[in-house]
Amino acid sequence: MTWGEIQIESLKKMFLNNESLSVNKLSDYMNEKKYKTYLYAMPQACNEAINFIVSKLGSNESTFELEKEDTIYYDLSKKIEDFRMIKGIYSKMPVSWKILNKNTIIIDNWQGEKILVSYEVKPTIINSDTDINFVIEIAPEYANLIPLYIAGELYKDDDLTLSTMYMNEFMTLIDNYANNKYGFPTPTIDRIYSMEG
C-alpha cells in the first residue's frame, strides 16, 4: 500500500463524501479546510501505527554478510543502515554467538568465513515530504490496517465513538494476526451442549 493510498483510505474512514477521493488530488485536499488539518497530522499517526505493528508482528526481513574483525563484539546498527533487530546467524562453520543487547552480538570461535546475519528491517519514517507513491515497507496485509489506526487516532476530538470503533478494530486485527502469525489455525469455540425448546 502506498503512502498516498493510506492517506485517502484514512480520509474515507473519517468523512462521508459524495464524490470519490483520489490520490492524484491529494495536493488539492491539502488546501481544503475540511481535510488539511488531518492530512498534516497523518505522517506522525502513520509512524505510530507502523511502530505498533512492527513491535507486535515484526517487520520485513533481510540479510547481511558480516566479515570477521579483530573483536568479538559486533554492533549491527553501525554496520547495517536499516537494521532493527537480529533474527539469526547462518555460517558454514560452527560459531558460538549470543545477543548482548538489541544491537550488539558476541561471536566466538569464528574461523574467518563470512557469516550471514538475518535481521528485521527498520521501516522508513514517513514525513510531510514522503512521496505519495512510496510503498510502506511492511507486509501488505499489515499496511492495510494503518488507515484504521490513523482514523482512530486523528478523529478522537470529532467523533469519539467512531474513533474508538476504528481503534478497537485495529487492535483486534493486530491481535488476530499475532495469534495466527505462524500459520496455526485460530482456535474456535465448539458447541458441546445445547438445549432445544
Closest CA to 115 of 166, 151, 161, 80: 80
Kindly indicate the confidence band of residue 179, based on its pLDDT and cuts at 50, 70 and 90: confident
Does residue 11 surpass a pLDDT of 90? Answer: yes
Q: Quick one: pLDDT at residue 197?
A: 47
Distance, first Cα to last Cα, the chain:
51
Query: Tens of pLDDT along 96-139?
Result: 889 998 899 999 888 878 899 999 999 999 999 999 999 998 98
Higher per-residue pLDDT: 157 or 195: 157
Average pLDDT (49-63) is 91
Pick 15 or 182 by higher pLDDT: 15
- Pick from 2-16, 18-32, 71-85, 182-196: least confident: 182-196
> Looking at residue 76, what is its pLDDT?
95
Torsions phi, psi for 35 (to 5 deg): -110, -30
Please determine, for residue 151, whether its predicted confidence score (pLDDT) is greater than 90. Answer: yes
Q: Which grid cell sits at 51?
A: 511502530
Note the pLDDT of residue 47: 97
pLDDT surpasses 80 at 187 = no
Whole-number pLDDT of residue 58: 85
Angle at 132 between CA 118 and CA 158, to 5 degrees: 105
Sign of CA dihedral 29, 33, 34, 40: positive
User: 110: left (phi > 0), else alpha (psi -120 to 50), else beta?
Assistant: beta
Query: Chain-wide mean pLDDT for the chain?
Result: 88
Q: In angstroms, how far apart are the furthest CA atoms of the chain?
A: 79
pLDDT of residue 182: 56
Asked if pLDDT for residue 15 goes beyond 90, the answer is no
